[in-house]
C-alpha cells in the first residue's frame, strides 16, 4: 500500500515536472513569436517563472495539513486550466488589447510559476506519510521532478510538434495535468474530503480543455486575424518559424515570418531587382550562382532570367518555406515557378558531399515543356541546412553569391552577419566573383547597416553600399562587393563604384530597375553614413543585434 501510494505521487510529480518545463517553453515561444527578440523573451519568461516557483514554494508553508490532498488536487486542476488556455489568451490579448499584453502575459507566467512551486513541496509533505526519512523523501520527489522536466523537454521539442500546433500543445499539456489529478482522485478517493467539488471542477476543466484542443486551430485563426489588417489566407507553424500570408482587398499579398513582413506583392520586385541585377551587372561571369535565404523563390525568379546561369543552388533552412514556394498557387504566381519546374533537384538529406540517386529527388512538373535542349537550362538545387554549415560543405567557387537573410533581429540571425560567416562566404566566392547582401535600413538602423559593411571588410572583402526606397519597408540598403585581391587595395570602394556606374544596359527585362537607378542608388545624403562606431560583428559579441534593436526602437 505504501509503495503504491508513493508511486502515484511520484507519477504526479513526473507529470508536473514535464508539464511545468513544457509550459515555460510554450509561453516563451509565444512571447518570442509576438514580441520578437527570441533569446531575450525566453530568458525573461523562464527567469520570471523560476522566481515565481520560489515564491510558491515559500508560500506553501502557510498551508495547513488539513485537506492537504484536496488542496494539491485543486492546484493541479487549476494549473491545467491556466497552462492550457494561457497561450491562446495571450494571442487574443495581443490582437485585441496590445497595451495590456505584458500585464496578461506575466499574470499567466506568475500564476503558473506559483502553482508549480506550490505543488512540489506539497507532494513531499504528502509523501512523508509513506516515507518518513526526510532525505529519502526529498531525494525521490526532486528526482522525479527533474526526470519529468527532461522528458517534458524532449517531448516538447521532438514529439508534440509532429502532431500539434503550439496552441494545441498547450491544451494537450493541460489535459496531462488533468490526467494526473484524475489519477489522484481515483487512487486516494477514500482520503479526499471535497471529492464532489473536485470532480465537478475536474469535469468542467476537462470539457474546457477538450473543446479547446479540437477548436484550437479555428480559435487561433480568429485570434491571429486581429494581428493583421488584411485577411489571412495562410497560417503555418514550422519547426523553425511561423509563416503567415495575407491578402488585401486590392489583392496584394503580404508574407510575414514571425510577425515581420518579408514582402508585399505590390512592390517586392523593387527589392528583388535591386538585390539581384546590380550583382549580375558587375559580375564578369554568371554561370554558377548561390542564393542564401530566399526560400520564397522571388530572388531565384530574377536570377533565372539570365541565360548564362547554368547552376543555381538555393539554401533555405526551412523546407516548408520552399515547399510553399513550389506548391502554393499564390507564391507560384509571384515567383513564376522558379522553384517548381523540372530543373529542380531537392537534396533530401541536407548533404552536398555526394549527390547520388538515393539522396537527390527530381521534382517533375508535367506542364513544363522546354523548347531548348536540357543542358541549356539552368540546374537548380534546393538545400535545407544552416547557411554557415552549407558554406563549409559546398565544393567549388561561385560567380555570384546572393545573401537574402531576414534582418538580424535575434542572436541566431546575428551570427549570419558575422566576420566568421563572411570569411566562409569569401572562401566560396570566385576570385573575380561578386556577392550582394540585403542589409536592413540605412536610415532606421544606420549603425547596424554600417556594422555589416565593417564586418565584411574585416573578412577580406571589398564592399560598397547602395540603397533605394521600397514602399513596404521604407528606405532600404544593400552591400555589394568582391575579393580585395580583385579590386585595387588603395581604391577598393571607388573601383567597385566606378565599375558599377559604367553599366549602361541591363541584360534582362525588369519592371523597375534601370542603369540610371543603379547609379543613383550608390549616392547617399550628406553625413548619412557618418558614424563614430567602429566595432564589427562577431560570433561572440552579437554587436549587430544591439545596433539593430537600438535603431528600430529609437530611429535615427
Which cell numbers in the block locate residue 216?
484550437
Degrees, nearest 5: CA angle 341-345-347: 145
- Cα 153 to its chain centre, rounded Å, is 18
Exposure on the CB side of residue 236, measured as CA atoms within 13 A: 16
Q: Are 244 and 253 in contact (CB under 8 A)?
A: no
Which cell numbers in the block locate residue 248?
488585401
Q: Are 377 and 345 in contact (CB under 8 A)?
A: no
With residues binned 3-state (H G I as helix, E B as strand, rest as coil), the percentages for the chain, rounded to 5, are 55, 15, 30
> Hunting for cell 487574443 — which residue is that?
92
Find, among 409, 384, 421, the residue nearest to 38 by Cα: 409
Contacts of 354 (CB under 8 A, 6+ apart): none
Which cell numbers in the block locate residue 390?
552549407
Total residue count of the chain as it appears in this document: 556
CA distance 137 to 154: 26
The alpha carbons of the chain give a radius of gyration, in whole angstroms, of 28
The set of catalytic residues is: 404
CA distance 17 to 190: 26
Which cell numbers in the block locate residue 425?
562566404
- Helices in 357-418 by DSSP H: which ranges? 387-393, 411-414
CA dihedral 465, 515, 296, 399 (to 10 degrees): -70
- Helices in 394-482 by DSSP H: which ranges? 411-414, 419-428, 446-458
Amino acid at each position: 500500500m505504501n509503495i503504491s501510494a508513493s508511486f502515484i505521487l511520484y507519477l504526479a510529480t513526473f507529470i508536473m515536472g514535464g508539464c511545468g518545463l513544457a509550459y515555460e517553453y510554450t509561453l516563451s515561444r509565444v512571447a518570442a513569436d509576438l514580441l520578437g527578440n527570441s533569446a531575450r523573451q525566453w530568458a525573461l519568461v523562464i527567469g520570471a517563472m523560476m522566481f515565481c516557483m520560489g515564491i510558491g514554494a515559500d508560500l506553501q508553508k502557510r498551508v495547513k495539513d488539513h485537506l492537504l490532498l484536496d488542496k494539491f488536487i485543486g492546484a493541479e486542476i487549476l494549473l491545467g486550466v491556466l497552462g492550457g488556455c494561457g497561450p491562446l489568451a495571450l494571442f487574443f490579448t495581443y490582437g485585441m488589447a496590445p497595451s495590456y499584453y505584458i500585464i496578461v502575459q506575466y499574470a499567466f507566467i506568475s500564476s503558473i510559476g506559483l502553482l508549480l512551486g506550490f505543488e512540489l513541496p506539497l507532494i513531499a509533505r504528502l509523501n512523508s506519510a509513506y516515507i518518513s526519512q526526510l532525505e529519502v523523501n526529498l531525494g525521490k520527489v526532486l528526482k522525479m521532478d527533474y526526470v519529468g522536466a527532461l522528458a517534458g523537454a524532449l517531448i516538447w521539442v521532438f514529439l508534440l510538434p509532429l502532431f500539434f500546433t503550439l496552441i494545441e500543445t498547450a491544451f494537450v499539456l493541460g489535459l496531462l495535468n488533468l490526467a494526473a489529478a484524475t489519477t489522484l482522485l481515483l487512487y486516494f478517493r477514500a482520503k479526499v474530503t471535497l471529492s464532489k467539488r473536485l470532480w465537478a471542477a475536474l469535469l468542467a476543466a476537462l470539457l474546457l480543455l477538450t473543446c479547446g484542443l479540437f477548436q484550437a486551430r479555428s480559435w487561433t485563426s480568429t485570434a491571429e486575424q486581429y494581428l493583421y489588417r488584411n485577411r489571412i489566407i495562410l497560417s503555418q507553424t514550422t519547426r523553425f518559424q511561423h509563416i503567415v500570408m495575407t491578402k488585401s482587398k486590392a489583392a496584394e499579398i503580404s508574407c510575414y515570418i514571425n510577425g515581420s513582413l518579408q514582402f508585399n506583392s505590390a512592390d517586392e520586385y523593387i527589392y528583388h531587382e535591386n538585390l539581384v541585377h546590380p550583382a549580375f551587372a558587375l559580375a564578369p561571369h554568371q554561370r554558377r550562382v548561390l542564393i542564401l535565404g530566399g526560400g520564397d523563390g522571388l530572388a531565384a525568379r530574377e536570377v533565372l532570367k539570365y541565360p548564362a546561369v547554368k547552376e543555381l543552388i538555393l539554401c533555405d533552412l526551412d523546407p516548408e518555406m520552399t515547399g510553399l514556394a513550389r506548391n502554393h498557387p499564390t507564391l507560384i504566381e509571384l515567383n513564376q515557378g522558379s522553384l517548381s519546374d523540372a530543373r529542380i533537384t531537392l537534396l533530401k538529406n541536407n548533404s552536398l558531399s555526394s549527390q547520388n540517386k538515393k539522396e537527390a529527388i527530381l521534382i517533375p512538373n508535367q506542364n513544363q515543356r522546354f523548347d531548348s535542349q536540357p543542358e541549356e537550362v539552368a540546374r537548380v538545387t534546393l538545400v535545407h541546412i544552416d547557411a554557415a554549415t552549407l558554406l563549409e560543405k559546398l565544393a567549388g567557387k561561385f560567380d555570384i553569391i546572393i545573401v537574402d537573410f531576414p534582418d538580424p533581429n535575434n542572436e541566431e540571425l546575428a551570427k549570419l552577419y558575422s566576420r566568421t560567416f563572411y570569411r566562409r562566404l569569401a572562401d566560396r566566392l570566385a576570385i573575380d566573383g561578386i556577392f550582394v547582401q540585403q542589409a536592413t535600413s540605412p536610415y532606421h538602423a544606420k549603425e547596424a547597416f554600417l556594422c555589416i559593411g565593417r564586418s565584411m571588410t574585416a573578412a577580406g572583402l571589398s564592399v560598397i553600399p547602395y540603397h533605394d526606397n521600397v514602399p513596404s519597408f521604407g528606405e532600404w540598403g544593400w552591400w555589394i562587393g568582391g575579393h580585395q585581391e580583385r579590386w585595387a587595395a588603395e581604391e577598393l570602394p571607388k573601383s567597385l563604384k566606378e565599375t558599377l556606374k559604367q553599366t549602361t544596359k541591363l541584360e534582362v527585362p525588369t519592371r523597375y530597375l534601370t542603369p540610371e537607378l543603379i547609379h543613383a542608388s550608390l549616392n547617399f545624403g550628406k553625413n548619412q553614413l557618418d558614424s563614430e562606431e567602429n566595432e564589427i560583428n562577431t560570433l561572440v559579441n552579437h554587436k549587430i543585434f544591439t545596433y539593430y534593436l537600438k535603431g528600430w526602437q529609437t530611429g535615427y
